[in-house]
Structure 1
Amino acid sequence: MTRLSYDTDLTDDQWKILEPLIPRAKTGGRNRSLDIGEVLNGIFYFVTNGRKWRAMPHDFSKWQSVYTYFRGWESDGTWRKINHTKSDL
């Protein structure tokens, strides 16, 4: 399903920088079914607009899923790694 873009969505160049920093799906469980780029878009929308998680627009992944990734990446250091990565963009 395609959706209209938000001004907080990642560009292709930004995604190329961030993609290698995102942890791979864990082995042994079911396959990752969410588009991680869309999860990041949801997180950036939330952070930029300061909304409640439950008020996330319905054209993003479910708020619970986006929140779960956000909290997991916060606790495992992924956000710190992303924030300390420098780019030429």
Structure 2
Amino acid sequence: MTNLPWFSDAEVDDLCTGLKVNAAKVRHLESLGLTVKQKPNGRPLVMRSHAELTLSGMKAAQVAIEVASDTSRQPNRDALVLKFKKKAA
């Protein structure tokens, strides 16, 4: 394992097995949910921390936790009770 903050060309090629064209590699990596920049030679540039977070599934888990803990998305119980009281009367 390397200490570089970005994936090496070999690691990118490993993720893009079978693809030879750099543009195709970029599209494939983006389809995995990664943010991809391009080096001056056209090769994909993927930041290691972002890739590890995205590919591990932790990013999706964090979003789910944030949505579940967001109280503004909870139903307004008082308004619902008031609505049914008006219908009953």
User: Fold-level match, TM-score > 0.5?
Assistant: no
Give the structure with higher Rg (CA): 2
TM-score bin (small chain): under 0.3
Normalising by structure 1, we get a TM-score of 0.24
TM-score for both structures, normalised by structure 2: 0.24
